[in-house]
Amino acid sequence: MFSTQFFSKWTPCILALLRIITGFLFLQHGSAKLFGVPHVAMFDGLQLMSLMGLAGVLEFVGGSLILIGLFTRPVAFILSGQMAVAYFMAHAPGGLLPILNQGELAVMYSFVFLYFSVAGAGSLSVDGMLKKA
């Protein structure tokens, strides 16, 4: 039904859209931890110099860089590792399967970031503009 040419044409745009949406969603985790916006009650009183504080910095800064597509590959690799660590520290002790230990989001972020570390930013990115310059 769809030709290979159709998919080839749209792949970079869909990659960019996935990167932008993922970065926006991820930075919200960091802004909730660091700035209380949006407010998430379990992050009230979070200390910056704690494991969760460090996670918040990585999520806010890393999510922002992913959103704009700057240093996408190395940042995505770091964030993929962060989400793998988050899964094994916070979720895996609650059971083997992610659906049972509420770890699906950490697993998905980890693999989406791993994909970005290999695929790059796609179109509509600062990385792409710097490459052309």
| Rounded average pLDDT per 10-residue block, the chain, 133 residues | 81 95 98 97 95 97 98 98 97 95 98 98 93 81
pLDDT value, residue 131:
87
Q: Which two tokens stand for residue 50?
A: 């704690």
| Rounded-to-integer distance, Cα 35 and Cα 96, Å | 33
In 3-state terms, what secondary structure has residue 48?
Answer: coil
| Rounded-to-integer distance, Cα 29 and Cα 40, Å | 9
pTM of the model: 0.93
Query: What is the torsion angle, in degrees rounded to the nearest 10, for the CA atoms of residue 49, residue 51, residue 55 and residue 56?
Result: -40
| Rounded-to-integer distance, Cα 3 and Cα 130, Å | 31
